[in-house]
Amino acid sequence: MNEAERDAGMPATPGYRYADEVSGELYVAGQVPHDADGNIVGLGDTRRQAEQSLDNLFRLVDVRGFERAHIRRLVIYVAGEHLAEAWKAVLEAFDGEVPPATLLGVARLGHDGQLFEIDATIHR
């Protein structure tokens, strides 16, 4: 599972796939601020975690043979009160042209110290 992603330097995922492609559409699981070894980066730094999660998303897009322009929908989860800071990182990553997106403030995310997560729907 996830061999192409692992070969591209992404960490292993425990028991689930990074994404599934169905009829030219790629459904992406939430990308978290993990480095290649599976460690959370930027503890306490929402912006750094956003940047890492976005880098992981863009790497996944490339690995699966899609382009950034194919990203059609985002859902962004931010733990804590730093939604504006997270949004700035998203704006910069998409050069001010963010696809349709939902930004949600949440109480907690899946990993200790995790402040940011992003999932996407991608279509050719």
CATH superfamily of 3-123: RutC-like (3.30.1330.40)
The band of 1, judged by pLDDT with boundaries at 50, 70 and 90, is low
Task: Provide Rg for the chain, Cα atoms.
Answer: 13
**pTM listed for this prediction:** 0.94
How much is the pLDDT for 98? 98
Question: How many Cα atoms are found within 13 Å in the side-chain-facing hemisphere of 49?
Answer: 29
pLDDT in tens, 21-57: 999 999 999 999 999 999 999 999 999 999 999 999 9
Question: How many Cα atoms are found within 13 Å in the side-chain-facing hemisphere of 76?
Answer: 28
Give the rounded percent of residues in the chain with a pLDDT score beyond 70: 99
